[in-house]
Structure 1
């Protein structure tokens, strides 16, 4: 991996700055506080974003709402550009982010971008959700942080190095094995509780099976009782059925007897009715013989009715004429009255407009008066005549009604007389029918007597039927009792069988649990006695090997930087031990340059060990050193040239304010700060 370019916008003391970086060694030079370290922080942010515990306010320029970092680098022949932004809200947080690979840009989330970068750098994915110590200890570690690790508590330091070396998994495995053992013990206690009654359950199954066999034997006795009850019930049913046939015969006789009696009563009633009808018909025939129908009288009455109707018609026509004449006279009187009234007041003729002569008017008035008087007299005469006609009309109408009634009665008598032949035929028919009815009644009475005799003989089966019905009910009751007892025993057998089956299933499951318990016991013993000791042994061997290599490299780098008077080595917990003339020196009593040399040697040795362990990470050819010569003497600074030459990396970035370092590197980028704003010179 080679970093080519980094662009800062509103990052710490920078407003906008673009820094081009080249392969080989590059020095970021400038006074203290000129913004050199900000470049290194921007590189780390550009690659990985905000780290756990890192606040956005440590990067975003004060007073600005937005800031961004773009970092461009080459890796495996691909050009990669990463852009990250910071935004101020209630808190300062990461905003949009993107990655461009060989010109193909992709907008993705912050977390997705971090995972993508880890994939590109071939870093373990475990660093996606925690601080990236691998980058810190192989690429860039602030010198003060390295000193802090050296001075850290030994337990914290060795745990940190375990994580960096990637062998913290051994400790994790041991811890997880401990957790697993606790869970196995807990599971073992639970399973022991479940399996504690296994022997008792097996005994209970044997007991239940013995009881079940006894019950199965008892079912034979109940089945025998049920079969006997069933046989007895069928016998009683057969006996009852035989008697039922007799009862049905009895019922049929009763029905036949009832029908015969009803038929006899009906025939007796018909015979009685016929006798009455015979008497009536005989009387009618005798009465008809006494009647003498006078045909001449009928003709006279019909003639009289005809003549009276003609007379009534004439009177009606006369009455119409009289009424018509009266109405005409009334109209005439009304017209003369109108003329009289008109002439009485008329002075001038309305037609010719001449005066009307008094004599003329008097003649007309006299004439109209006479006409009115004559008409009234005539009306009185006609009214008298009309009243007489009305009286005559009513008298004639009464005569016609009386004659018609008499004529009707005579005609009815004539019709009755003419029906006497039919009456005689009816009389003969009734006499024949009565004779037949009497014969039928004799036969029916004989049949009824025979039925009564048969009914009397068969009545004895009623009592016998009731007895057989009681016996059948008792047999059915006993059969039901036997059936219920058998069902109860079978139900108990079913319950016992189900219980035994459940017990066997339970025992089977418990035996499976027992097998699992045995397996858990074996597994717990294997974890405690074999697995954990082996893992512990492996960890110790790996740590011992790493410590040996680390201690050797640490000593070599330190000897390169410091005089031969000092001897350094590492303890088992990776604590540096400094000896001079067989005396052990405390780290705090060393000079500033010596402490820096210890930290730098520790840092470079750590870098080499990690890169040798993880040879596939893509950042192994990149090293960033932040103020590596703080407190160095001129002699130590001169030795720094040899150190840089021995690193043999493709890209080395050094931050230092030492002028002498400029002669050690291939490229120099100088920075300065004016009025709080950092920039390149």
Structure 2
């Protein structure tokens, strides 16, 4: 047996009225969720639906804001189901964010293997597990689950009360009949597309005959151009053969012209060289004449120079010796004069020291009487007197300040008492006599103070005069001490001056002797014969210049004679080269004339070669032009072939589209409409039969019959007449809704094959308003259902006898509570 889905347990944490984590287990068979209204029974069913499909945006979907417990930031539902003997755990969470309550990522555990998913991915995976139509994954609600497994009580009533068209559309979607409508709509769109395609293909294939004729004309032109190309190419071959025959002669002519050009260049070069040699010969002749003239003049000058009998080397030695003597005499003379000046300067310093010595003696006698210790003692005594006077003045000024303050206080007291009406301490009134008495005492005290201040000011003036006098004496004493200090330093300086003078006197005799000696040496140096020695140097210098001039002229004559020899040789060589060039030029001229004659004879062949080459070029251009035109024609022909092929394809496609259009209109759409009618009729007939059957089981009243009209609207017939639903009693209305619900469940399970929720049914308050007899009939209904797991939500205690298991739901101040 193929096992469908059943629920094993559900865990709720912070869901609606459930605060802490709570686990509710379900068994196979019938389970009753029993409790008062508002105790939290429906919250369990909503949690199961949320675990399977998550939250949605439609009005029928579960909302996250209605699930999460108020005041909680997070909540979750864990649902354990069994499908095909596999245990599957589904976990979904809710989180409170700033934008609202949203789903968090969830997970699946299948046979112990955990896999995380986003909310949308998880819904898609659950739809796959339940084998629901896949298009439901993109919808916010799952109508198959709502109409087969669990329909809230208020939504079942909405189905019964909704409009006919809306109900039909809802059932078409549930039973997937809607897809046949989409097939027809898509077929209509396909037919429109095919009609457009036929028109388009017809337009493409209209001028196929003209295109074939165009291709035929192009192929004829291509054939004609091929014939023209053949004739041109034969002419090109012929021209090339003719050119090959003439080419050897033209090549020989080319070589002759190149040889002629080379000979002409040689001739031009030879003429240029001969001209250069002639110019060079003229220059050499002029150079020879100039050099001969210069040699003659220099020889004459050489004869005129008279050399001394003494050799040049001896003269140079004499010149060096005399020059040294003169330099030495001049140096000695300068040294002696410098020494003389130094001695004179030293004697003048001695004379100056004599005068300084006299002044020092005079000053020393003046400062001998200064006593620095006595001056210092006198200054200290004056300073003590000055300090004592200062302290007395400060004491007087302090007393004066105190007297002035007391005077001010007495004045303030008199003024304050004169304005006083009562005593500030005892608050007694102050009389005028008392005021007068106090003022008089204050005036007497003020008088005494002023007398004292007068005496103090007088003493202050006297002390100030004494202090000024003491300050003057102190300044004078300080100046005397300073002068005594200066005199002490000056005395040392004067003593040093007297010592230096005595030293100078001991040197004076030596200096005078040195002066006389130096004067004698200068007189001796002055007697040296400077003029005679200078004349000797001039004579020697003149003789040396004669030797130098003679040597220069001799070297010049030798160099010029050498240049003359070389110039004469070069002139002879130039004359020989000119003669040889003239001989070579004659031979080249003969060759030039011969080549010119040969070239004139071969020039017609060259002209014929050029003419033949131009003709070949013209044929090549013509060939190229025809090839380009032929290429264009080939491209046009190829384009025409492609167009013809496309048009033939379009024509074939048009025929194919016509056949599809005909089949769609005549066969496919009628077949789809027939299937749609057949399936709709099957749903209607099965639904209607089941609806009648379930209602008769629940209501044993022969006067009330029910059926469905073609829009699935319940029709009530009472005593042979159509009646309104509102005319039924409360129990009859509930029976009608339950019969409709069970019928719809069974039809969906039969028509939509393969879904995995056929073995579970959840009924929400199915017996509201039932009598005791109707409650007994519910047992028969449940027995006949043959479903593995039925979960019933009810507040009726009478339902307990109809089920296998009971789960009691109650509520206290903390939230909902589960008990067995």
Same-fold call, TM > 0.5?
A: yes
SS at match of 1:574: coil
Alignment of 1:132-171 (within 5 A): 132-165=142-175, 167-168=176-177, 171=178
Aligned to 2:185: 178
Residue 353 of structure 1: how far off its partner (Å): 8.2
**1:205/1:500 contact within 8 Å kept:** no
Separation in structure 2 between the aligned mates of residue 74 and residue 367 of structure 1, nearest angstrom: 149
- Are residue 190 (structure 1) and residue 200 (structure 2) matched? no
Q: 5+ residue gaps in structure 2?
A: 355-497
Q: Distance in 2 between matches of 1:272 and 1:15?
A: 134
Change (3 A) 1:247 1:317: same
The answer to whether the 8 A contact 1:278-1:430 is kept is no
SS in structure 2 opposite 1:505? helix
1:490-505 alignment to 2 at 5 Å?
490-505=627-642
Q: How does 1:633-648 map to 2 (within 5 A)?
A: 633-648=771-786
Query: Matched residues in 1 for 2:722 and 2:507: separation?
Result: 190
1:72 corresponds in structure 2 to 80
**Contact 1:578/1:584, CA 8 A, preserved across alignment:** yes
Contact in 2 for aligned 1:212/1:493 (Cα 8 Å) = no
**Change beyond 3 A, Cα 1:637–1:120:** same
Task: Give the CA deviation at 1:657.
Answer: 2.8
Q: Identify the residue that residue 126 of structure 2 maps to in structure 1.
A: 117
- Aligned-pair distance for 1:213? 1.4
Q: Residue 652 of structure 1 aligns with which residue?
A: 790
User: What are the residue-to-residue correspondences of 1:468-507 with 2, within 5 Å?
Assistant: 469=607, 479-507=616-644
How far apart are 1:106 and its partner, in Å?
Answer: 4.3
CA shift, 1:124, in A, is 3.5
Aligned to 2:677, which of 540, 545, 549?
540
Q: What CA distance in whole angstroms lies between the structure 2 residues aligned with 1:282 and 1:617?
A: 141
Per the alignment, residue 21 of structure 1 pairs with 26
- Pair 1:629–1:238, CA change in 2 (3 A): same
Q: How many angstroms does 1:479 deviate by?
A: 4.5
Cα separation, 2, equivalents of 1:399 and 1:109: 129
Deviation at 1:608, TM superposition (A): 2.6
CA contact (8 A) 2:270 2:581 kept: no
Give the secondary-structure state (helix, strand or coil) at the position aligned to 2:39.
coil
Residue pair 1:623, 1:653 contacting (<8 A) in 2 also: yes
The equivalences for 1:414-433 within 5 A come to none
Q: Is the 8 A contact 1:232 1:475 kept in 2?
A: yes
**Residues 151 and 764 in structure 2, CA contact (< 8 A), matched pair in contact too:** yes
Matched position secondary structure for 2:324: helix
Q: How far apart are residue 472 of structure 1 and its match?
A: 6.1
Per-residue deviation, residues 67-101 of structure 1 (Å, max 9, x unmatched): 33333344444444433333334333323433344
User: What displacement does 1:530 show?
Assistant: 1.8
Q: Deviations over 1:102-122 (max 9, x none)?
A: 555544322232233334434
CA distance in 1, matches of 2:505, 2:155: 163
Task: Assess, with a 3 A threshold, how the Cα gap between structure 1 residues 222 and 631 changes in structure 2: closer, same or farther.
Answer: same
CA spacing shift, 1:464–1:679, aligned 2, 3 Å: same
1:492-531 residue pairs with structure 2 within 5 A? Answer: 492-531=629-668
- Alignment partner of 2:207: what SS? helix
CA distance, structure 1, for counterparts of residue 144 and residue 68 of structure 2 = 25
Q: Deviations over 1:560-611 (max 9, x none)?
A: 1112333434444434344345444443433332222222122222223333
2:747 counterpart of 1:609 = yes
Contact 2:40 / 2:809 at 8 angstroms: preserved in 1? yes
Q: Does the 8 A contact of 1:10 with 1:66 survive in 2?
A: yes
1:50 aligns with 2:55: yes
Q: Which residue of 1 aligns with 2:314?
A: 310
Question: Match of 2:435?
Answer: none
* SS in structure 2 at match of 1:196: helix
Answer whether contact 1:72 1:79 (CA < 8 A) is retained. Answer: yes
Whole-angstrom CA distance in 2 between matches of 1:527 and 1:554: 38
8 Å CA contact 1:208–1:496 kept in 2: the answer is: no
Instruction: Return the alpha-carbon distance in structure 2 between the equivalents of residues 558 and 357 of structure 1.
Output: 170
Change (3 A) 1:567 1:398: closer
Match of 2:691 in 1: 554
2:392 corresponds to 1:392: no
Deviations along 1:524-550, one digit per CA (max 9) or x if unpaired, are 222222223223323333343443333
Q: State the 1:179 CA deviation.
A: 1.7
For 2:548 and 2:755, the matched residues in 1 are separated by 149
Cα distance in 1, alignment partners of residues 576 and 507 from structure 2: 113
What is the rounded CA distance, in whole Å, between the counterparts of 2:718 and 2:333 in structure 1?
A: 184
Partner SS, residue 67 of structure 1? strand
TM-score, normalization by structure 2: 0.66
Q: Secondary structure at the match of 2:52?
A: helix
Shift of 1:397: 3.1
* Separation in structure 2 between the aligned mates of residue 675 and residue 381 of structure 1, nearest angstrom: 153
Kept in 1: contact 2:194–2:661 (CA 8 A): no
Q: Show the 5 A alignment for 1:284-299.
A: none
Between the aligned partners of 1:330 and 1:373, the Cα distance in structure 2 is 14
Cα separation, partners in 2 of 1:566 and 1:184, compared to 1, 3 Å: same
Query: CA–CA distance in 1 between the matches of 2:93 and 2:551?
Result: 137
Alpha-carbon separation, structure 2, partners of 1:282 and 1:607: 150
Residue 635 of structure 1: SS of its match in structure 2?
A: helix
Q: Which residue of 2 aligns with 1:85?
A: 93
Q: For residues 213-248 of structure 1, what are the alpha-carbon distances to aligned partners after superposition, in whole Å with 9 as ceiling and x for unaligned?
A: 134324534653565477558757966874674575
What residue is the counterpart of 1:97 in the other structure? Answer: 106
What displacement does 1:491 show? 2.3
Give the SS at the match of 2:791: strand
From the superposition, tell whether residues 552 and 374 of structure 1 become closer, same or farther in structure 2 (CA, over 3 Å).
closer
Q: Matched residues in 2 for 1:35 and 1:355: separation?
A: 145
Distance in 2, matches of 1:110 and 1:233, equals: 88
The answer for unaligned runs of 5 or more in structure 1 is none
SS at match of 1:493: helix
CA distance in 2, matches of 1:412, 1:313: 29
Contact 1:14–1:678 (Cα < 8 Å) also in 2: yes
1:200 to 180, 184, 207: 207
Greater mean deviation of Cα atoms: 557-566 or 67-76: 67-76
Deviation (angstroms), 1:383: 1.9
Separation in structure 1 between the aligned mates of residue 708 and residue 657 of structure 2, nearest angstrom: 42
Provide Cα deviations, 1:188-226, integer angstroms capped at 9, x if missing partner: 323432333425234323233224313432453465356
Which string of whole-angstrom CA distances, capped at 9 and with x for unpartnered residues, describes residues 361-404 of structure 1? 69x96996487357426524422332332343234335544665
Give the Cα–Cα distance (whole angstroms) in 2 for the partners of residues 147 and 389 of structure 1.
164
Q: Is the CA contact (8 Å cut-off) linking 2:215 and 2:640 kept in structure 1?
A: no
Output the TM-score relative to the length of structure 1.
Answer: 0.78
Q: Distance in 2 between matches of 1:62 and 1:312?
A: 138
* Contact 1:305–1:403 (Cα < 8 Å) also in 2: no
Return the alpha-carbon distance in structure 1 between the equivalents of residues 222 and 505 of structure 2: 156
**How far apart, in 2, do the equivalents of 1:440 and 1:283 lie?**
29
